Amino acid sequence: MHAEKPGKVRFSILLMLFLVTTVTFADRSSLSIAGAALQADLGIDSVTLGFIFSAFGWAYVIGQIPGGWLFDRFGAKQVYVITLFCWSLFTLLQGFVGMLPLAWTVATLFLLRLAVGFAGAPCFPGNARIIAAWFPTAERATATAISSSAQYAATAIFAPLMGWVVQAMGWQYVFFVLGGLGLLLCGVWLKLMYGPREHPRIGEAEFAYIEAGGGLIDLAPRPAGEAGSQGRYLKLLLTQRTMIGIYFGQYCNNAITYFFLTWFPVYLVQARGMTILTAGFSASLPAISGFVGGVLGGLVSDGLLRRGYSLTLARKLPIGFGMLLSSCIVLCVYAESDAAVIGLMALAFFGKGFGSHGWTLVADTSPRRIVGLSGGLFNTFGNLAAITTPIVVGYLVSRTGSFDAALMYVGANALLAVISYLFIVGRIHRIELDDEPPQAGTPGT
């Protein structure tokens, strides 16, 4: 008699995460699509636009640790839907700033970007927690890659669409469309999202498969009495070489992400002379390449693990190769044709996607009881790049009059990511709390 095959309910959860993550990245990059038209309409310079771009990052970083704690304390379903509603509402409100007196417009837009960043902060810690609960170790890199690759899908889908919206209706309508879409998704989330123990459609075979493979199925909300342990847990995470290397590597990786999410469409318009509509369509090719690279990198990593290679090799090999490939973005400095620039950007973002396994490492290494907190700390460090990258690029463009130095800055971050992941992280293994017994069923390192 054949054993019952595990079901596929976990993939419906992954699809939901992909959709919500696509929306959050579309919301956070909405200003980049509207940026050139908004800059011309409001008469602001590159430095001011850089600071407005960075507003999301300031609040996003501040909200990471509280956001991770909220997931650990109250669970994913309730916290996630509240944050999804809030960041979508604040995105929609940005469409009304053009109605204000010019003196108020920049300040109001900056404040609304802060609000979007703070409300969206729990998204990725929540994704890491949900994936750790629903997927065994041998499928975790693929699941995380698909979820994380939503950042590229967001650009591939929405950059051309929003470019057309800007040209046909005005930059304000970018915010109306994306904010409204996020509000609609709130109801879908409430209907479809459950943990493994509570899901009405999960079968015993799939539940056993997830549990035996190292899925952290018992990530229930933590009792309120454990709140006083936060300081001890933070100290533990910040004194582990493995975690420090992962956190710094994510900062460098995100420098590439936030160039793409903020200045890349502006670069195509101002440095390459494209129209906003053409820039929107051109930005979709690197985004599609990043998506393909992200999914392929996850499949390769999990494939190596299933073939008996160590967890350390299975995770680090795609990271090293991908980040080295992404450093080719500096060659855009020497490219003369627009086609060559888009081709190099596509190659760079394929590499970035292939090597983006930071969230997989968080799920692989974090103490089970504080996956949300660890994810929040990881995203705090990583998204400091959301603050620094837009500002640094804005200053470099303003001081030099070109994007050459900015592209070199982004490429240098790719090389620093290689160094951090390959040499600082060390052996990849789960860190255990003193009062936490090792979990059975977790593959070796």
CB 175 within 8 A of CB 158: no
For the residues 134-163, what does the mean pLDDT come to? 80
Residue 439 counted as domain residue? no
| Residue whose entry in the numeric block shows the structure tokens 């690029």 | 393
- The tokens for 162 are 């929003």
| Residue 268, Ramachandran bin (φ over 0: left; ψ between -120 and 50: alpha; else beta) | alpha
| Residue whose entry in the numeric block shows the structure tokens 């995203």 | 379
pLDDT, one tens digit per residue, over 367-402 is 877 777 787 788 788 888 878 888 898 889 888 888
Q: How far apart are CA 396 and CA 407, in angstroms?
A: 10
For the residues 397-417, what does the mean pLDDT come to? 90
Residue 298 counted as domain residue? yes
> What is the rounded average pLDDT for all residues in the chain?
81
| Residue 273, Ramachandran bin (φ over 0: left; ψ between -120 and 50: alpha; else beta) | left
The alpha helices in 94-203, defined as continuous H runs, are 102-120, 123-134, 137-148, 150-169, 172-192
For the residues 90-114, what does the mean pLDDT come to? 81
Residue 351 counted as domain residue? yes
Residue at 319: amino acid letter: I
- The tokens for 134 are 């629903």
pLDDT value at 143 more than 80 = yes
Residue at 290: amino acid letter: G
Residue 28 counted as domain residue? yes
**pLDDT tier, 440 (very low <50, low <70, confident <90, very high otherwise):** very low
- CATH code of the domain covering residue 411: 1.20.1250.20
Task: Answer whether 0.85 is exceeded by the pTM.
Answer: no
Tally the C-alpha atoms within 13 A of residue 295's C-alpha that lie toward its C-beta. 12
Report DSSP state, residue 29: T
Residue 349 counted as domain residue? yes
Neighbours of 169 (CB within 10 A): 12
Q: What is the DSSP string of 246-301?
A: HHHHHHHHHHHHHIIIIIHHHHHHHTT---HHHHHHHHHHHHHHHHHHHHHHHHHH
When mean pLDDT is compared across 28-42, 52-66, 306-320, 321-335, the lowest value belongs to 28-42
Residue 221: the pLDDT is 55
pLDDT, one tens digit per residue, over 201-256 is 888 888 888 878 877 665 555 555 554 566 778 788 888 888 899 999 999 998 98
The span from the first CA to the last CA of the chain, in angstroms, equals 33
Residue 177: the pLDDT is 87
Residue 74 counted as domain residue? yes
**pLDDT tier, 35 (very low <50, low <70, confident <90, very high otherwise):** low
Report DSSP state, residue 403: S
- The tokens for 264 are 């890349």
Residue 444: the pLDDT is 41
CA 232 → CA 42, 235, 369, 425, 427, distances in Å? Answer: 48, 5, 13, 21, 23
For the residues 184-191, what does the mean pLDDT come to? 87
Q: How far apart are CA 314 and CA 311, in angstroms?
A: 5
CB 138 within 8 A of CB 130: no
pLDDT, one tens digit per residue, over 286-316 is 888 888 888 898 889 989 988 888 988 998 9
Q: How far apart are CA 239 and CA 202, in angstroms?
A: 39
Backbone angles phi, psi at 4, to 5 degrees: -65, 135
Residue 435 counted as domain residue? no
Domain extent at residue 65: 9-217+229-424
pLDDT value at 441 more than 50 = no
The alpha helices in 383-439, defined as continuous H runs, are 385-400, 404-419
**pLDDT tier, 131 (very low <50, low <70, confident <90, very high otherwise):** confident
Give, in degrees to the nearest 5, the angle at Cα 260 between 254 and 263: 115
If one compares 102 and 158, the residue with the highest pLDDT of the two is 158
Closest CA to 187 of 81, 74, 76, 77: 81
Q: How far apart are CA 65 and CA 370, in angstroms?
A: 11
Count how many domains the chain has.
1
Residue 442 counted as domain residue? no
CB 230 within 8 A of CB 373: yes
Q: How far apart are CA 244 and CA 203, in angstroms?
A: 39
Q: At what angle do helices 230-238 and 371-382 cross, to 10 degrees?
A: 50
Q: How far apart are CA 223 and CA 72, in angstroms?
A: 9
Q: How far apart are CA 22 and CA 27, in angstroms?
A: 9
